[in-house]
A and B are shown apart, each in its own frame.
Chain A
């Protein structure tokens, strides 16, 4: 258990450091930084490299936004296996649906309770 804690700390931190470097050194905007990390996660997922990283580092790999890209691709690939090309479209949100729906539902509740104006 202890090595898992250690690697979660290191890998999670490393992904954040990469994001910070993209932001401060490469001077990407916050939006570009975030979407680039999603795409990197998707590519690693497509190559089949992200799931081993999750096995290795646990939440250190699942919490950062790269995990979202991985989930998108995994869902698409799973459905593609069963339903062909259409599966790519239907499966994209298969795994990520809970996260996306939660954002919608909690956003809605937040909007009812507060005045969401900037």
Chain B
């Protein structure tokens, strides 16, 4: 149901029946290691290309989430997924092996919430009874895609970010037994914001205005106050973009308690892991939300959270042609049903 200019509310309360997160060796040394369902100790993961390993982690996340929901693939009507590789092949190839009717999405690192928003909309409006949604990234497959060839080993400035090797997936259903379960209550779809920044080594800075734009739109459309949420979490703005967003929100008169304003890219690694500004990638917000954050909600630590996943919509070609970096952010609100 449309509310305001660009938000949906979900009165039928789609249930996040189960979720799963898969990570790589670097994530296994990170802060949230215990929240991953599967952790690989090698980037190759027994495959002969990083792209195949990338496909594998999404397959695993989706299969694990379906298993945890005590369902089989046949119970699921649709799969919504995306990633950052050319033509999103890891997601499409995972969909090939999983065999669930599939929507391929591209919202760069905002794909996780683009998927959850659409999945919730489908469930809320009886488009399906059960769907699965997910997003993923693989450090070696994606860094090769967007940055210099990894073998070249070029220096990265401190504003650069580290692509997370991770996948997250969730099974969303129209389960009528909602008490105590995690439900999605609303979503705000972001518009593409481009402030003319063109440095691919500072994605966080480029994405900050789009995050602020979507957060402002969310509270305006839903006529809510930021204090409604126990936690507002951005996708992968990291050390540069996250404080800029808080500043931009303050300028627009939206005061968010900085203790309640977090970023997946800043949560996933230890302080001593050398990731420059922080984590990034489509798998960053997906793994942190579908692993850590939902676990915390299940434990009762948070009752209501708003996840705002941010994406930089550039391509290696658009960067070479000196185009600026258009950015987007999508927000989904997740609550524990009373």
How many Å from the CB of B234 to the closest CB on chain A? 25
Q: With an 8 A cutoff between CB atoms, is A84 at the interface?
A: no
Q: Is A118 touching B150 in the complex (CB atoms < 8 A)?
A: yes
How many Å from the CB of A25 to the closest CB on chain B? 11
- Other-chain residue from A23, A27, A118 in contact with B149 (beta carbon distance below 8 A): A118
Tell me the bound Cα distance from A24 to B160 in angstroms.
12
Tell me the bound Cα distance from A24 to B202 in angstroms.
12
Residue of B nearest to A24 (CB): B157
How big is chain A's contact interface, by range? Answer: under 10
Q: Is B154 touching A30 in the complex (CB atoms < 8 A)?
A: yes
Q: Is A30 touching B148 in the complex (CB atoms < 8 A)?
A: yes
Tell me the bound Cα distance from A77 to B27 in angstroms.
54
Q: Is A30 touching B152 in the complex (CB atoms < 8 A)?
A: yes
Q: Is A116 touching B151 in the complex (CB atoms < 8 A)?
A: yes
How many Å from the CB of B219 to the closest CB on chain A? 36
Q: Is B199 touching A30 in the complex (CB atoms < 8 A)?
A: no
Q: Is A23 touching B151 in the complex (CB atoms < 8 A)?
A: no
Tell me the bound Cα distance from A13 to B106 in angstroms.
45
Q: Is B155 touching A23 in the complex (CB atoms < 8 A)?
A: yes
Q: Is A23 touching B157 in the complex (CB atoms < 8 A)?
A: yes
Tell me the bound Cα distance from A31 to B155 in angstroms.
11
Per CB-CB distance, the 6 closest pairs between chain A and chain B, nearest first, are A30-B154, A118-B150, A118-B151, A118-B144, A118-B149, A24-B157
Interface residues of B (CB under 8 A from A): 49-50, 140, 144, 148-152, 154-155, 157, 199
Add 14 more A-B contacts to A30-B148, A31-B148, A118-B144 (CB < 8 A): A23-B155, A23-B157, A24-B157, A27-B199, A30-B152, A30-B154, A30-B155, A116-B151, A117-B49, A118-B50, A118-B140, A118-B149, A118-B150, A118-B151
